[in-house]
Amino acid sequence: MDTILVANAGSSSVKFQVFGIGQDGSLKRQIKGQMDGVGSRPRLRATGADGAVLIDRSYENEAVRDVAAAITTAGAWLRGELKIDPIAIGHRVVHGGPDYDRPVRVDQNVLAQLEKYISLAPLHQPYNLAPIRSILSRFPDRPQVACFDTAFHRGHGDLADRYAIPEYLYAEGVRRYGFHGLSYEYIASILPDVAPGIASKRVIVAHLGSGASMCALDNGRSIESSMGFTALDGLPMGTRPGQIDPGVVLYLISEKGMAPADIQNFLYRECGLKGLSGVSNDMRELLTSDSPRAALAVDYFVYRASLFAGMLAAALQGVDALVFTAGVGENSAPVRAAIAAKLGWLGVSIDADANEKHARLVSRPESRVAVYVLPTDEELMIARHTWSLLSKSSKKHERVS
Note the helical H segments in 198-344: 246-254, 260-269, 272-277, 283-288, 292-316, 326-331, 333-342
Q: What is the DSSP string of 150-165?
A: SGGGTT--HHHH--SS
d(CA 317, CA 310) in angstroms, rounded, equals 10
Bridge pairing between strands 144-148 and 370-373 = unpaired
Amino acid letter, residue 303: Y
Calpha distance 245→253 (Å, rounded): 14
Among candidate residues 149, 245, 282, 351, the one labeled active-site is: 149
- Residue 208 zone, left/alpha/beta (φ > 0; ψ -120 to 50; rest): beta
CB 141: neighbour CB atoms within 10 A? 5
Residue 218 is among the residues annotated as catalytic for this protein: no
Closest C-alpha to 386, from 98, 76, 8: 8
Catalytic residues: 149
